[in-house]
Amino acid sequence: MVTFTGLGSLPGTDVAAAARMTFDKVPDLPYLPELPARGPWAAMVGRGLGLPSGLPAELSAGEWRLADAPGVDQRRARATWRDDLDQLEEAAHGYAGRFKVAVTGPWTLAASLGVANTGRVLADRGARRDLAQSVAEGVGELLADLARRLPDLDLVLQVDEPSLPAVAAGAVPTPGGFFRHRAVDLPELCRALGWITAEPVRRGLAVRTVLHSCARWTDGWPLASLLHGDPTSAGFDAVSLDLDQLGTADWDALAGAADAGAGIYLGCLPTKGEPRPLGVDAVRRRGLAAIERIGVPPEHLVLTPACGLAGWTPAEVSRGFEVLARVAEQVAAELA
């Protein structure tokens, strides 16, 4: 069986309607949608700072910064999470099965979050450690809350890290834009991410974890260090990548990951360009070509859009999910 799902952001401001759409249009792996149109507290960075144990922060002059106490926008972010979970509890009533929730990863937050005197959290080793531990604790509390509210859910945690390759490459600009922050080495990157993947286990929760990024890693994704395996790895069960952002080295790495049993979330539905969405035949050809190169078993394969769909219209989103549903059926038939 080949599964398909979405990645997070959707258009609009009605989270109840968006949640119902994911259960209706993505029945095998529905998810909690993110609606950044509601305001900065509902966009990626603000939502990441809205987790229960998040470090105090404030939004000032369009930039999120660490603060002595939670600012009004961070309080709104936390209230938005609570409201979203309340709406989800109603939408998911009677549902039993896999369900995905996404959080912003610590390295994307560190690359975006300001701190007094040092520019960004990314520039301060102690600050980025504190941030990563705070994110891990907040994720653990979120998952425990979901498990309490909806015990029949088979939870999947997606950690969004669009800035991870830039952090690793030393390509994140300083606030003035004239310089770049130093690259963070792979062991530190994995250690911070590993705190998140270890949190469900620490709390006695059975949760599969997925690392998602729609960016390109300059020298190829170091999947052996990011996926579950070595004790020093980040410990993810699956990886979610944009098909158009894969370099030559990534194909062999993905094939090795698939052979080792990792899940592959394949971003085969383009989210940029026209038409929106691409037709069934074009997406099927893209997906099959990638699957043949990777050799991933159908049971470990999940088809997705390349990235979030907040910039699409609701009609385009609905059609996009219909395209993915038909492609999943056709790919499963061809792989049978």
DSSP string, 44-92: HHHHHTTSTTPPPEEEETTEEEE-SS--HHHHHHHHHHHHHHHHHHHHT
* Digit-coded pLDDT (tens) for 65-98: 999 999 999 999 999 999 999 999 999 999 999 9
User: CA separation (Å) from 222 to 164, 202, 216, 266?
Assistant: 11, 26, 12, 17
Looking at residue 153, its pLDDT comes to 97
> In this structure, is residue 313 part of a structural domain?
no
Task: Out of 31-45, 109-123, 134-148, pick the least confident.
Answer: 109-123
Burial tier of 325 (Cβ tally within 10 Å: 0-12, 13-18, 19+): middle
Q: What is the amino acid identity at position 145?
A: D
> In this structure, is residue 284 part of a structural domain?
no
- pTM higher than 0.95, yes or no? yes
β-pair partners for 119: 115
> In this structure, is residue 33 part of a structural domain?
no
> In this structure, is residue 273 part of a structural domain?
no
Host domain of residue 68: 39-236
User: Quick one: pLDDT band at residue 43, thresholds 50, 70, 90?
Assistant: very high
Percent of the chain topping pLDDT 90:
92
Tell which residue, 213, 109, 198, has the closest CA to residue 160: 213
Looking at residue 221, its pLDDT comes to 97
> In this structure, is residue 332 part of a structural domain?
no
> In this structure, is residue 143 part of a structural domain?
yes
Res. 118: pLDDT tops 80: no
User: Quick one: pLDDT band at residue 231, thresholds 50, 70, 90?
Assistant: confident
For residue 185, give the DSSP letter: P
- Which residue is associated with the tokens 């119902």? 20
Res. 54: pLDDT tops 90: no
> In this structure, is residue 16 part of a structural domain?
no
Number of domains in the chain: 1
- What DSSP letter does each residue of 109-162 carry, written as one string? HHHH-EETTTEEGGG-HHHHHHHHHHHHHHHHHHHHHHHHH-TTEEEEEEEE-T
* Digit-coded pLDDT (tens) for 270-314: 999 999 999 999 999 999 999 999 999 999 999 999 999 999 999
> In this structure, is residue 301 part of a structural domain?
no
Q: What is the amino acid identity at position 291?
A: I
